[in-house]
Amino acid sequence: MLPTIRPAVRALAIGLTAVLAASACGSTAGGEGPEFEGDTFDWKRYDGTSLNVYIADTGQVQALRDNLDEFTDLTGITVNIESADVTSYRQNLPVRLTSRASDFDVMATFPEVDGLQFASNGWYTDLGPYIDNPGVTDPEYDFEDFRTGVREAMKVDDQTITVLWEMQTDLVYYRKDLLEQAGLAVPTTFEEWAAAAEAVHDPDNRLYGFALRGIPYQTTTPFSSFLYAHCGQWVDDGGQAVINSPEAVEAYEVYGQLGNNYGPPGIAGFDWPVPSQQFAQGNVFAFLDVNLFVSELEDPSRSRVAGNVGYTTVPRADCDPAPFIGGWGYAINPFSEQRDASWYFIQWATSKQMNLDLKLTGWPSPRASAWESPEFAAGDPTPEFSQVVLDSTENARAQMNPPVTPGVEAREIAGLVANRALEGQTGDQLQQVADQQNEQLQGLLDAMQ
Amino acid sequence: MSQLTESPPAPPARPAGSGSMPPRRRPLLDWLDRYDRYILPAPAVIVVVAMLAFPIVYTIYLSFHQWSGGLRPPQWIGLDNFTRALTTGQFWGSLWRTAYFVILSVGLQVVIGVGAALLFHRRFPGRGIARTFFMFPMIATPAAVALVWKMMYDPTIGVFNYLVQSIGGPTLLWTSDANLVIPALAIVDTWMWTPLVMLIVLAGLAALPQEPFEAAKVDGAGPIRTFVSVTLPLLRPVLLVAVLFRLIDAIKTFDIIKVITDGGPGQASETLNLYAFKQGLSYLHFGYGSALLVFLTLLVFGVAIVFTHVRARTEEK
């Protein structure tokens, strides 16, 4: 009997493989732009529709859920939110998009990391035609309210592919009391920060001078501020990887020395929230990272340094400071069958009012009107922080990662040099790592051609 | 012969005149009757084969292609993914780290597991409760275990450094020192899976014949001599089974490494499984990731075949 079964099994295996391969080769999904063409906007146009929103929870999801009834009252659209932590989300989303899943309509994306790859894979819906179509965009939406730098951060290849719900940018958090005890002014250069960190560094009493991220693919976010301040680049104008240039290597060395000399033990293994957690515990004098930690650090039930935190813009070196600007935003799944209704959700979730509501919970809004609103100004618990964030956006760059695909791999390649520097490598040894990693980054660039 | 057996009942006599009619044919039912042992389990077999075979066949299919999951279909590139792996330092590095982790953790588990089994084989008050406690690590969810260990290994707030420092030791960077990270992970794996080795060895000990031990006693052998010359050789087949189980599992270890270090610091704990995962699911090099998984599967197969062979030879002796 076995010989008669064998061909059948073989045929089955081949058949299944063929079906999957065929489905992978299928036609592209959906068209670009809204189906509705007209100039009268009606919030109730998609009454009765149901939307699935799949997003990464960076801390904002609860506020979104709390307000969903308002959206349903306004539009008649019901929304189901599926959220995941950032790491799981990053791993699941591409797999679901690869299988052309249409079981979610709106998705979260971080253009700085996903952008190039998602765009080349056809995983974005161009939002430009939606924004420009008065029939599907509320006249009061005011897209210009997002500042130029923020609008740039929403684009890939000149197409707007997402609308940000947050605005991340780097800054330095420090302990005011310790700085005062050391009798120092707020540092403005990396050298001054190193001196201040040295002045307060006291490992015997578990007080460390400066904390940074250490895991390779996490380091590029804070490291970009070091890179730009030292006049370095990820990729030069000719499209060549230059993370081994003298400027970049100097930036890596400064990053590594600051963390290695004055950081808590094990800094090379620090994931992104660890510097802020150590700071909140009172173990760290200062750390440079994104602007997402304020509400946590100022909450006395979660932070031992609440009320004592100072904020300042990223330091300068040979070049002026240039913190990155970017963040998570909503995008429309191109395989969704309800793209127009999805856009309704996005414009509501990123409307002036929703941004202000989120802003009042301590979330960094990408809209100028939220920061400038009298309601926020009157109750702003940290005006110093707000000012620093607004100042940072003046000279920010929408590029915290090498503009290379795959984004996560490029981050890992460039970040490994920072990781090695945190382990104490300097000089020729570090240059050798940078050369090696630069070659790998160039390999990815070449593969993109 | 027929005299001794009861003759079968005679068929009812056909009515006269109908003797020439052939019996009614039921071809479908006959066919079903004849093949029912294949037909009845067929749906289950098809599902199981599809579930087992499909992922393997598809992984092999992808390993010969370059594909990043986009709108472009997978491109056939022959053996490129395999040659790329074999010529990449990162692949060999990950293979070496896998071997280091596996040998260290399985070695520790066998030594501690046999010791614990010998201990729990003796009768003493509270043995049942102690055995139950010893089983706990094996029951716990690996990801949850990993999170707890990650906290315990933390150099600043972790309990291990607190203990080390309280006896005057240095600050150890358990999971962020490239030289310490694999041993640190092996300790977690050992904590978790030693009970399995112990269980298998305990079962083996219970089944051992008593005569050789009595003979050893008569000959005046001490406990160490008895263990080396009698217990261990007798336990050999059981030990080989335990080692085989643990080797296969340890080569595939993923969850605790992913949660505790994610392959770090740098790439110091990036085993073959983690390397394949990163290439496939983080960087979306589905083809290359699949090729690495093919290597991993071959490695597991190789180990399984070698051990089965060794075990067969042991039993022949």
Do residues A277 and A348 lie in contact, with contact meaning Cβ atoms separated by under 8 Å? no
Measured distance CA(A331)–CA(A346) in Å, rounded: 8
- Chain A residues with at least one Cβ partner in B under 8 Å: 1, 5, 9, 12-13, 16-17, 20-21, 24-25, 28, 90-91, 94-95, 97-98, 117, 120-123, 206, 214-216, 264-269, 278, 281, 283, 406, 408-409, 412, 416, 419-420, 423
Element (H, E) at A227: helix A216-229
Task: Please name the member of A1, A206, A406 whose beta carbon is closest to the beta carbon of B284.
Answer: A406
Q: Is the dihedral of CA A228, A230, A235, A237 positive or negative?
A: positive
Q: How many CB atoms lie within 10 A of CB B8?
A: 6
Q: pLDDT at position A58, please?
A: 79
Q: Which residues of A touch B156 (CB under 8 A)?
A: 206, 264-266, 278, 283
The DSSP secondary-structure symbol of A293 reads -
A116-159: per-residue pLDDT in tens? 889 988 899 999 999 999 999 999 999 999 988 889 889 998 89
Alpha-carbon distances of A246 from A254, A445, B187, B216, rounded to whole Å: 12, 20, 42, 74
Helix (H) or strand (E) holding B165: helix B159-166
Q: Take residue A405 and report the two structure tokens written for it.
A: 């695909």
Please indicate whether, in this complex, the C-beta atoms of B265 and A419 are within 8 angstroms of each other: yes
Burial classification of residue B227, based on how many CB atoms lie within 10 Å of its CB (0-12 exposed, 13-18 middle, 19 or more buried): middle
Please give the DSSP secondary-structure letter assigned to residue B171. -
Write out the two tokens for B271. Answer: 């085993």
Nearest neighbour of A264 by CB, restricted to B156, B177, B278: B156
Burial profile A211-221: b = 16 or more Cβ within 10 angstroms, e = fewer? bbbbbbbbbbb
Distance from CA of B73 to the nearest CA of A (A): 5
SS3 label, residue A191: helix
Can you tell me the distance from the alpha carbon of A178 to that of A183, in angstroms, rounded to the nearest whole number? 9
Question: Angle formed by the axes of helices B42-63 and A2-24, to 10°?
Answer: 50
Cα(B189)–Cα(B106) distance, rounded to whole angstroms?
9
d(CA A222, CA A271): 12
pLDDT given at position A25? 35
Partner-chain contact A423 B266, CB within 8 Å: yes
For the beta carbon of residue B261, count every other beta carbon within 10 angstroms: 25
pLDDT in tens, chain B (317 residues): 444 444 555 555 555 444 455 666 688 888 888 888 888 999 999 998 888 888 899 999 999 999 887 777 899 999 999 999 999 889 999 999 999 999 999 999 999 999 999 988 888 888 888 888 888 888 888 889 999 999 999 887 789 888 988 888 888 888 888 889 999 999 999 999 999 999 999 999 988 888 888 888 888 888 888 888 888 888 988 999 999 999 999 999 999 999 998 888 888 999 999 999 999 988 889 999 999 999 999 999 999 999 888 888 877 66
Q: In whole angstroms, give the CA distance from residue A241 to residue A445.
A: 8
What is the dihedral sign for C-alpha A92, A93, A94, A96?
positive
Q: What is the four-CA torsion angle of A293, A294, A300, A306, rounded to 10 degrees?
A: 110
User: In angstroms, what separates the C-alpha of A87 from chain B's closest C-alpha?
Assistant: 10
Query: Two tokens at B51?
Result: 């579930």
Mean pLDDT, chain A, rounded, equals 88
Residues in chain B with CB shorter than 8 Å from the CB of A269 are 173, 175-176, 261, 264-265
Q: What span, in angstroms and rounded, lies between the C-alpha atoms of A17 and A33? A: 34
**Spatial distance between the Cα atoms of B229 and B222, rounded to a whole number of angstroms:** 10
Distance CA B290, CA B285 (A): 8
CB B129 within 8 A of CB B136: no
Are B155 and A406 in contact (CB < 8 Å)? no
Interface contact A12-B53, CB threshold 8 A = yes
Q: Which residues of A touch B284 (CB under 8 A)?
A: 94, 98, 117, 406
Residues of B in contact with A97 (CB under 8 A): 69
Sort out which chain B residues have CB atoms less than 8 A from A9's CB and list them: 49, 53
A380 to chain B, minimum CA–CA distance in Å?
33
Cβ <8 Å between B265 and A264: no
Contacts of B286 in chain A (CB under 8 A): 98
| ipTM (interface predicted TM) | 0.75
Determine, for residues A16 and B50 on separate chains, whether the beta-carbon distance falls below 8 Å: yes
